[in-house]
Structure 1
Amino acid sequence: MPNSDNASTGSLADWLRSVTDDALTDLLHARRDLATPPPTSSTVLATRAGTPGSIARACEDLDTVTLAVYEAMLVVHADADPTSRDRLVELAGLEPADIDAALDRLRARALAWGDDEAIRVPPAARDVFGAHPAGLGNPAPDLPDFDLDELSDAERALLTTLAPGPPVGRTRDAGIHVPLSSARTPAQKLLARGLLVRRDSETVELPLQIGLALRGGHIHAPGTLAPPRLDTHPHAPATVDETAAGEAMEFIRHTEALLTLWSGQPPPVLKAGGLGVRELRRLTRELDVDEPRAVLIAELVVGAGLVADDQNTTPEWVPTTLTDSWLASTPDARWTLLAQTWLDLPRLPGLAGHRDAKDKPIAPLADELRRPLAPVARRRTLAALADLPPGTGVHSADDLTATLAWRAPRRGGRLRDEMVRWTMAEAAAIGAIALGAVTTATRALLDDDRPRAGQAMADAMPDPVDKVLVQADLTVVAPGPLEPELATEILAVADVESAGHATVYRITEHTVRRALDTGRTAAELHALFSQRSATPVPQALTYLIDDVARRHGRLRGGVAGSFLRCDDESLLAEVVRTPAATELELRQIAPTVLVSPLPLADVLDTLRDAGFAPAAEGPDGRIMDLTRARGRRTPARSRTAPRPAPDQATVDPGQLRAIVAHIRAGDRAATTRKGTTVRLPSGGGGADTALTLALLSQATREQREVWIGFVDAHGTARQRVVTPARVGGGVLESTENERYPLHRITSVALVEDA
């Protein structure tokens, strides 16, 4: 706080000189733009703090009540003449304690200064809040005495319309000058009474005095600035964690499905960048998800470096070499990477599909989705939930949106409320929140503790199960996440029919044949179900496996281009007679062997479409898997850590204290009484240089303070008051262990005793 009357009634620079070093450090921490580059004095700091841009940034962190008090100071023109705390209490419509708390916050940010009897604000604040702060007009100096009760209903209705703000309106009557006796319309009568002020031929303004009277004498009606109610409901933290873990596992499954799909059929990159509508629809169809979820998954796999533009002549979105290590990692590790990527993603997936400035829909993965401040909005939303007791969730996203809007109404821009809703929806989708509450894992991520986040998610995920339930309708139910080896075996012989906390698989003739194609035998499939099923194996499944196995592999193909061999000559003759034989250019080279110039995979697919069941054969004669290839991969791009947004950047307290010391030194140098100043010529040398060295040597012997002007390493002129400890070797060393090269010193003078 100021410690002098002059600071209370003077300029912002005077007030900054009077505050403590700790208060100045707190100011630089709250308004980080003021510290870059370090100001040379309180005058420079005050000038920087009083610019419209800096004031606007500082106001982004203020809540509705504090902004209302700030607007009240502008209403009473504290930017021109100081006002008092009592005047604000009288006008603001707030409790005195709220006024005091708001003034403390404003002073701490140098948005206002002075004691309670003489509070000022920077003139540029009016540029930030506009010509009509709080929606009130300018005072009318010649306003006559008025009684609103004497007005007609129509006149009062017109004033009431302008009272909430803005206080200006357009009317053709503004250009008509008539006495009250000749006035016909409400606007003409109010202009004649002086209760409206004519601004131009089409615009009128409601004077400040009338606006206040219509608001009951207060700038803000009592109770209108109270924070909105945030309805919450408690849950056991373990319930929240387990519910979120279920969503996380489902999100991981969908991510795996996307990587598998794009490994085999990478979608093209649009000419303008991004993912096309047709490919997005294919993705939603294959993953069986809605578009927002598909967009989110696509954005995260690219953001995490699992998918990248392969940058070929016809570029495609191709999984990178990081995909294989991600697929091989544990579920909690996979989730941690996706969740951290989402938290720091400088993009807005929710904006996909919206119209750009040219009224064209914005494509997923397009550059138009980039928003560097998106991570700030996500962390702010999750931090608000994390401030609640563990397990406590909000009733709805709209409630949280209203609360955050009250806490910082000037932050976020036009997408402020939408970003809160998108954050809530995306966080629920990836398992970062559940039941409206943040999870233990998410709290750890907000603390930048990834190992603890991964462990918390691992603890919340259900233990893998080693048994399945085989049903008579040839479905397989997994009552929880399967052990990795069992999951691989089941996926080889069955397709996922539905997923959730319990996954349902469907076994068909096609899936059994697919398992046999991978080299598994009928005996191995029987053993799998007999050993891993907690229920008796249905007879229908046994018959299905045996029936498919009996027909499978009788016809075998190899590489010639490719070849087909079969011990049954009649079956091979049947193949030769089909139209497929002509299409495949099959040629018989032996009674039991056919060859084709086409790739083996094409030959097998065509014969399967013709009703046959061939299998692939390796060089050793054993069945080999042509379907297990992992798909295409592109080299992983080197990922640079995202630059923290201003709200997230850590500040070194020691660095801030050094900047404060720098400011204080500049203040001292600017206000020090100097004797005769000796200026060094450019490049040094001559009598002035000798005189300067002699003066510095004298100050060293007598331990007297000297004022020096110098140019720093950035070419900026500086001033300092120092006590020389040693002069020599082209350097002036001070008793504070600071070094000043003599060739950078431009002027020097002894400090005179007061």
Structure 2
Amino acid sequence: MGPPAECAYTLDPVLAPPTTVDLMPDSLVDWLRAQDDETLAALLRLRPDLGVPPPADLVVLATRAGIRASVHRACDDLDSLTLAVLEAAVVAGADTAPVPLDELRRLLGPDVPAEALDRALRALRERALLWGPDEGISLVPAAREVVPRHPGGLGRPATGPAGSSALPELLAAVTPEERRVLDALAAGPPIGRSRAGSDPDSPVGRLLARGLLLRVDPETVELPRQVGLALRGDRPMGAVPVAPPDIGARDRGADVVDRTAGGAALEVLRRLDLLIAFWGRTPPPVLRSGGLGVRELRRAAREMDTDETMAALLVELALAADLVGESDGVAPDWVPTTTADVWGAGGPEVRWSALARTWLDMARMPGLVGRKDDAGRPISALSDGVRRPLAPRDRRRVLAGLAELPPGTAPASAGALADLLAWRAPRRGGRLRDEVVDWVLAEATVLGVVALDALTAPGRALLDNPDRIVAALRATLPEPVGHVLLQADLTAVAPGPLETALARELDLVGEVESAGGATVYRFTEATVRRALDAGRSAADLHELFARRSATPVPQGLTYLVDDVARRHGQLRGGAAASFLRSDDEVLIAEVLAHPDSPPLELRRIAPTVLVSPLPLVELMDGLRAAGFSPAAEDTGGGVLDLTDRGRRTSPRRRAASRSGPPEPGADQLAALVARMRSGDATAGVRRGTAAPVTTNGSTLDLLRAAAAARRAVWIGFVDGHGVAGERVLEPQSIGGGVVEGRDAVDGAVHRVPLHRITSIAMVEDSV
């Protein structure tokens, strides 16, 4: 037997499942009316789509509860056992007539404990998918369209021999070959393909002739439901997944996990700094179709010393955090925003906190970068193809699964966690369900939210108490050190994370050669000149090295600083557009005579002063390219820092994404339930208990009686524009031709002129 083919059924129409009705049976409305306010509020909390827009009454609520799309959404939160119970109710026909609980127990078999079945039924009742007492449980008709095509792996019921009392004798007479065919289909799915079905002497042909199989098309057969149930014995629904799979927890050590997370957090901050600096100098273009080109992503990966997968995560994170954005113009580029400067000025805990929050809530899935879209085109980083509105929900599910384990404990594997999440919500995730788990774990590990496959202390704070993220990360980071180890090869080793002030000074005077547990900085002529250009003097650098080094300052480093400083600043430039001055007239003459000087358009205005129409920055760059070491000066003669900080663009604030309707608060739910109760009562009045007003005296008598008894009344009226309306009021005062009362729905006080009332009735009399 092969896999089933997609085809139209040609069986007797009586075998087709019943069509879902549009309106819910009155019994669901009655069941909802019988529930207390807490139960209705819980229903609206579990199925928030039922309350948008607010239902006018309980009839509307019951109707929405049975809509196919809403039932689909409600089932997305159900675990495998609860879905199996739902399928059993469909097999039992609870969507057409109430069935007793004992029938569901029989279908589910002896492997389902009573307490597990009770939990599943409670979950279904809380979502109004099932209702009624245990003696007669009813099911929303739309559930038949939500469960698989063959609920429980069973075929459709059939008439004829398979549905008669002769079925046991027919099954007892089958041959071993025929029994193998029946057992394969009974295990599910009940549809199979066999070209031998046209041969009356084949096992399939003989089963068709005896009615134990039914033909769907010339090559496809179906096992009738009665035959499948008979073959399964005391387990009509087959193997029911009662318990979640074992996750196989492993203790990694909470301290080890948190220390690893601290290192990962510092590393991701360093790499993002490199990305911002790189794109500030050479911003990549935005593709015409949107996004970042493959070649530009590879360049960013090389600059950050990582692979393309991690680079895609980091550029997506930079975009979501508003650290980079599209520049304005005909040909836009990806440029760091001014937000990047503010973010970069913070401490590591604050910077990481912003990144972690952004990652958790960003509606993008970086793992999709490089995959094919529906049209077969590769998905680019920073493009709309990476957008997934449900990504925040998926991340929270994965982290919540890890959070259930003790601190420092990891699952046996990512596959074990994926199996657990699949059991808890098998309808979620689609075809990428298991891959999403791998992606989330990999991304969380890069950020330090997860380390060694275990949720870290900062990760728990991110998930449960975002206000504690900064403190949680600070506890995982090693104490910042205030010294370095200077080496004779013109390098400095930082034995840990540096104090912020020291790190900035070393970033200015050195280049990071390697990073990790210890960061290595290399000093060169260019880096020393960069520090001097930024306003540091040779004395400042000597003091920095002497005060911050735990080892003696190498003589070679001292010579390097002095040599660069001796030549640095002998030429002074200013804006004339720009000028150049020096006390050494020979040096001025040498500059003018240099073969690279003509493009600088220099001319002497004094023995020691030259001017140029070029901007000062271009003049300084030209002189340095010619081999000179000029320094820029401000109006007071001090060193002017002309360091290129890269391009910047304005930040573009993005609204936070939502994966569904906002979760209402307790007060909102209580008001919504009260509104439905009032609307239900009002609807009952409209159905025939409201009496037309005959005299003003009868209206006054009824209103005064309601006020004395503190009972609500339904009032039909016509406003000043002749528009009919209605309201449920609790009368508080009647006089002066006006009734004043409190609205039973929103509690507001309203005044209705007596002469505008057209009909009136006690609300309690209508229900």
1:268 aligns with 2:285: yes
The CA distance in 1 between the partners of 2:517 and 2:298, in whole Å, is 26
Find the counterpart in structure 1 of residue 733 from structure 2.
Answer: 726
Q: Is 1:127 the equivalent of 2:145?
A: yes
Q: Is contact 2:488-2:554 (8 Å) kept?
A: yes
Give the aligned partner of residue 6 of structure 1: none
C-alpha separation between the residues in 2 aligned to 1:702 and 1:611? Answer: 101
CA-based RMSD of the aligned residues comes to 3.5
CA contact (8 A) 2:68 2:142 kept: yes
Query: SS of the residue aligned with 2:596?
Result: helix
Residue number in structure 2 paired with 1:659: 672
What is the distance in 2 between the residues matched to 1:239 and 1:446?
Answer: 20
Aligned pair partner of 2:369 in 339, 342, 352: 352
Identify the residue that residue 36 of structure 1 maps to in structure 2. 52
User: Could you tell me the TM-score, scaled by structure 1's length?
Assistant: 0.87
Q: Are 2:322 and 1:299 aligned?
A: no
For 1:246, which of 246, 257, 263 is the aligned residue? 263
Answer yes or no: is the 8 Å Cα contact 1:477–1:505 preserved in 2.
Answer: yes
Q: Does 1:284 align with 2:301?
A: yes
Q: 2:92 maps to which residue?
A: 76
1:187 maps to 2:204: yes
Q: Equivalent of 1:516, from 528, 532, 548?
A: 532
SS of aligned partner of 1:25? helix
Identity of aligned residues (%): 52
Deviation per CA, 1:722-750, whole angstroms, max 9, x where unpaired? 66443456545269666566489663246
Match of 1:685 in 2: none
Q: Which residue of 2 aligns with 1:386?
A: 403
Shift of 1:654: 2.6
Q: Which amino acid aligns with 1:748?
A: I
Q: 1:432·1:439 contact (CA, 8 Å) conserved in 2?
A: yes
Secondary structure, aligned partner of 2:71:
helix
How has the CA–CA distance of structure 1 residues 506 and 13 changed in structure 2, closer, same or farther, with 3 Å as cutoff? Answer: same
Distance 1:719 1:389, change over 3 A: farther
Taking a change above 3 Å as real, the CA distance of residues 735 and 567 of structure 1, as seen in their structure-2 partners, is closer
1:361-405: CA deviations, max 9, x gaps?
A: 222222332222222222222122222222322233222121111
What is the aligned partner in structure 2 of residue 163 from structure 1?
186
Instruction: Find the counterpart in structure 2 of residue 632 from structure 1.
Output: 647
Q: Would the alpha carbon gap of residues 225 and 677 (structure 1) be closer, same or farther in structure 2, given more than 3 Å must change?
A: closer
1:302-701 → structure 2 map (5 Å cutoff): 302-450=319-467, 452-554=468-570, 557-565=573-581, 575=591, 578-587=594-603, 594-627=610-643, 629-638=644-653, 640=655, 642=656, 644-646=658-660, 649-669=662-682, 677-679=690-692, 690=696, 693-694=699-700, 696-697=702-703, 699-700=705-706
Q: Deviations over 1:124-169 (max 9, x none)?
A: 1101114311222112232152565754555444444433433223
Residue 503 of structure 1 and its aligned partner are, at CA, apart by 0.9
Report which stretch shifted further, 718-727 or 190-199: 718-727
**Across the two proteins, how many residue pairs are aligned to each other?**
728
Q: Aligned equivalents of 1:308 and 1:541: distance in 2?
A: 40
Letter of the aligned partner of 1:632 in structure 2? R
Letter in 1 for 2:79: D
Q: Distance in 1 between matches of 2:325 and 2:144?
A: 48
- Alpha-carbon separation, structure 2, partners of 1:584 and 1:453: 54
Q: Do the aligned residues in 1 keep the contact of 2:740 with 2:751 (CA within 8 Å)? A: yes
Distance 1:414 1:659 in 2: 37
Mark the CA change 1:632 to 1:76 in structure 2 (over 3 Å): closer, same or farther.
Answer: same
Q: For residues 699 and 244 of structure 1, do their structure 2 counterparts lie closer, same or farther at Cα, with a shift above 3 Å needed?
A: same
Partners of 1:258 and 1:673 in 2: CA distance: 67
Task: Rate the CA distance shift 1:33–1:701 in 2: closer, same or farther, 3 A.
Answer: closer
5+ residue gaps, structure 2, are 1-24
Is 1:748 matched up with 2:754? no
Instruction: Report how far residue 475 of structure 1 moved.
Output: 1.9
Report if aligned partners of 1:666, 1:718 keep a CA contact under 8 Å in 2.
no
2:65 aligned residue: 49
Query: How far apart, CA to CA, are the structure 2 residues paired with 1:304 and 1:356?
Result: 25
Q: Distance in 2 between matches of 1:704 and 1:554?
A: 96
Structure 1 contact 731–739 (Cα < 8 Å) conserved:
no
Bigger drift between 42-51 and 211-220 goes to 211-220
Letter in 1 for 2:665: D
Q: Mark the CA change 1:200 to 1:526 in structure 2 (over 3 Å): closer, same or farther.
A: same
Q: CA deviation at 1:409?
A: 0.9
Q: Which segment is superposed worse, 297-306 or 717-726?
A: 717-726
Q: Is the 8 A contact 1:242 1:460 kept in 2?
A: yes
Provide the secondary structure at the position in 2 that maps to 1:11. helix
Secondary structure, in 3 states, of the residue corresponding to 2:741?
Answer: strand
Q: Which residue type is aligned with residue 192 of structure 2?
A: G
Distance 1:572 1:149, change over 3 A: farther
What amino acid sits opposite 1:657 in the alignment? A
> Secondary structure, in 3 states, of the residue corresponding to 2:492?
strand
AA paired with 2:666?
P
Taking a change above 3 Å as real, the CA distance of residues 623 and 82 of structure 1, as seen in their structure-2 partners, is same
Flag the 1:40–1:582 CA change in 2: closer, same or farther, 3 A: closer
Contact 2:581 2:609 in 1 (8 A): yes
Structure 2 letter corresponding to 1:114:
G
The 1:70/1:472 distance shift into structure 2, 3 A limit, reads same
1:708 aligns with 2:714: yes
Distance 1:378 1:165 in 2: 33
**More off after superposition, 277-286 vs 423-432:** 277-286
Q: Retained in 1: the 8 A contact 2:727–2:743?
A: no
Matched, 1:227 2:244: yes
Q: Matches of 1:676 and 1:208 in 2, distance apart?
A: 50
Take 1:674 and 1:358, find their aligned partners in 2: how far apart are those partners? 55
Distance 2:610 2:687 in 1: 106
Question: How far apart are the structure 1 equivalents of 2:308 and 2:687?
Answer: 73
Question: What one-letter code is carried by the residue in structure 2 that aligns with 1:165?
Answer: G
Q: Does the 8 A contact of 1:666 with 1:719 survive in 2?
A: no
Q: Which moved more, 1:737-746 or 1:286-295?
A: 737-746
User: Bigger CA drift: 715-724 or 152-161?
Assistant: 715-724
Give the drift of 1:185: 3.3
The 3-state SS of whatever aligns with 1:512 is helix
SS in 1 for 2:759: strand
Shift of 1:459: 2.5
**1:107 paired to 2:125:** yes
Q: Give the AA of the match of 2:539.
A: A
2:582 & 2:703 partners in 1: Cα distance? 106
CA contact (8 A) 1:703 1:724 kept: no
TM-score after normalising by structure 2: 0.85
Which one is further off, 20-29 or 497-506? 20-29
Q: Does 1:64 align with 2:71?
A: no
Provide the rounded CA distance (Å) in 2 between the counterparts of 1:300 and 1:198: 55
User: 5+ residue gaps in structure 1?
Assistant: 1-8, 177-181, 681-687
Instruction: Return the alpha-carbon distance in structure 2 between the equivalents of residues 292 and 411 of structure 1.
Output: 25
Secondary structure at 1:491 match in 2: helix
Instruction: Report the CA distance between 1:646 and its aligned residue.
Output: 3.7
